Structure 1
Amino acid sequence: MASETAGSTPPENLTPQQRDMPQVNKITTDDIRASLKAGFSDFLARPVLSGFFGLFYAVFGILLVWALIWLGQIWMIIPAIVGFPLVAPFAAAGLYEMSRRLQKGESFGWAEILSVMANQRKRELGWMAFVTLFIFWVWIYQVRLWLAIILQNASFSDFDGFLNTVFFTPQGWIFLAVGTCVGAFLSAVLFSVTVVAMPLLLDRDTNFISAMLTSLRVVSESPAVMLGWAAIISVTILLSLVPAFLGLIFTLPILGHTTWHLYQRAVAPAEG
């Protein structure tokens, strides 16, 4: 009897965080395809409201580039554009809520979606925003560091001069190689801790640490498939930046809706 009691003690002593950790499922390419189809359907169901979030993100990107030019920070334009997709998961929070309501057959309008987003400041989605922006800041800082180390004697009087130095000099090639490797690492870290963390925080009353750990578990459970999904997101958003950021009006909403449906497949429903 004593041994049986001792054996049952550990589960009773689990912390609330351990009890609340959701179960994760293995993701396949079929799940990616099905999620993309569902995400596209959500976009078509409410194209104007969905497109608003993409337009907001695009306008922010245009203003960011304009501000860098106005401030004379020419060297920051390419790092800012390349790092821009890092903040996309947070920008898609309203899209997750739309997909959640569409999935449940609930009616909603602009006020309901925007108010839900505003109320997230009272929950832990704000901490995830901090994590996202911190990694974006690290990305910009490391670019400046390697710029000073590798291209220390270069001067950039205009954007064309910066492009010529980076793409047509040996030092520029080294800078690109190092920056690409570091950027890929930071992107992988951020993707791993946010891919399902933000929809999870929106959907359930949990803390951001548990959400990030759940996201890491989803990636570790299906690394090859999730790496493929990360590549789809990165390539799609980067291509969307080419036409003056305007491609984001369509691609960001579809990717955001898709992420919600992928989260639904990757994380088991809450008990009860």
Structure 2
Amino acid sequence: MVSATQESSREGQAKPVQGRTPPIVINTITTADIGAALSAGFRDFTAAPVYGLFFGGFYAVAGWLILGVLFFLDLHFMAYPLAAGFALVAPFVASGVYEVSRRQERGLPLSWSAVFGAIGASGRRDLGWMAVVTTFTLVIWIEIATVIYLVFFGLRPLDWGSLMTAVTSTANGLIFLGLGNLAGALLGITVFAISVVSFPLLLDRDIDFVTAMITSVRSVIENPRPMLFWAVLIAAGLALSLLSLFVGLFIVLPVLGHASWHVYRKLIPAEEAKSAEPTA
């Protein structure tokens, strides 16, 4: 007969958890891998340009509409922060581009129904939660930008010309510009860290968005130099698109989106990212 002490000891022993998902392996990459991913992204874009042009065009047109509304409402001071902050939701807009690269990688047929079906699949609901997270950060950024403007310029709305004069020729305006860019950069780095891997990972694997964000942050922490290099390249590409009044997004967004998939794949090997294919 087993004694009460022995029985209690057995009950206290940890039991193996059935069906536990194995930890996600994160590779160590270099800046050369970033360059290779960028080249692969350009090849993916040229192989199926219509998809990339569609998503890039959608993003550009949305930017034009938002700027048009701001100028119509005489909210000129919000044009720059909103245009810059618009990049915070770019990872979700680029999800369609990630799916194109994923299907090209696996030799799956490309179609609009397959691409949009993958994004909206019931098994990918956590992708929607990530969209909520990034949209929420955009709202936070708009609030921060508004507060900074009120601190430096008060309640008087400046027209575009007066705002540009104040920002470029007065000490108060230069401090305003520097502080605003610093706040935007810090928020942008945060969004980059939580989203650079999480969006493609959620398309590729059946996991929750919290795990995806943690994996994304781990990828950045474990590969600081190449991921910082990648963040700078993304920021530079989006900045050039901003200077072109969003016209550059027709090319920049899809190329960076395809390249982001390849950066993800270099970080998370394919054998660690197997999942059932959603029906088209």
Distance 1:21 1:131, change over 3 A: farther
Contact 2:77 2:157 in 1 (8 A): no
Q: Secondary structure at the match of 2:272?
A: coil
1:242 shift after superposition: 2.1
Aligned AA for 1:214?
A: T
Distance 1:79 1:206, change over 3 A: same
Please tell me whether Structure 1 or Structure 2 has the larger radius of gyration of its CA atoms: 2
Between the aligned residues of both structures, percent identity stands at: 40
RMSD value, Cα: 2.2
In structure 2, the residue matched to 1:130 is: 132
1:161 shift after superposition: 1.4
| Alignment deviations for residues 67-88 of structure 1 (CA, whole Å, 9 cap, x no partner) | 1111221111010111121111
Distance in structure 1 (CA, Å) of the matches to 2:160 and 2:206: 47
Distance 1:10 1:37, change over 3 A: farther
Give unmatched runs, 5+ long, in structure 2: 1-5, 275-280
| Alignment deviations for residues 134-172 of structure 1 (CA, whole Å, 9 cap, x no partner) | 11111111111111112227541x211111122221111
Aligned AA for 1:126?
A: G
Report runs of 4+ in structure 1 exceeding 4 Å deviation. Answer: 13-16
In structure 2, the residue matched to 1:42 is: 44
Distance in structure 1 (CA, Å) of the matches to 2:55 and 2:42: 15
Aligned AA for 1:137?
A: V
Q: Secondary structure at the match of 1:12?
A: coil
In structure 2, the residue matched to 1:207 is: 208
Instruction: Within 5 Å, give how 1:239-254 maps onto structure 2.
Output: 239-254=240-255
Q: Which moved more, 1:246-255 or 1:236-245?
A: 236-245
Distance 1:11 1:191, change over 3 A: farther
Contact 2:119 2:127 in 1 (8 A): no
Distance in structure 1 (CA, Å) of the matches to 2:23 and 2:77: 43
User: Does 2:229 align with 1:228?
Assistant: yes
In structure 2, the residue matched to 1:145 is: 147
In structure 1, the residue matched to 2:68 is: 66
TM-score by length of 2: 0.88
Distance in structure 2 (CA, Å) of the matches to 1:190 and 1:14: 34
In structure 2, the residue matched to 1:255 is: 256
1:11 shift after superposition: 8.5
User: Does 2:161 align with 1:160?
Assistant: yes
Distance in structure 2 (CA, Å) of the matches to 1:121 and 1:89: 19
| Alignment deviations for residues 163-216 of structure 1 (CA, whole Å, 9 cap, x no partner) | 112222111111112112111111111000000000000110000000000000
Contact 1:21 1:214 in 2 (8 A): no
Distance 1:11 1:75, change over 3 A: farther
Contact 1:39 1:254 in 2 (8 A): yes
| Alignment deviations for residues 77-100 of structure 1 (CA, whole Å, 9 cap, x no partner) | 010111121111111000111001
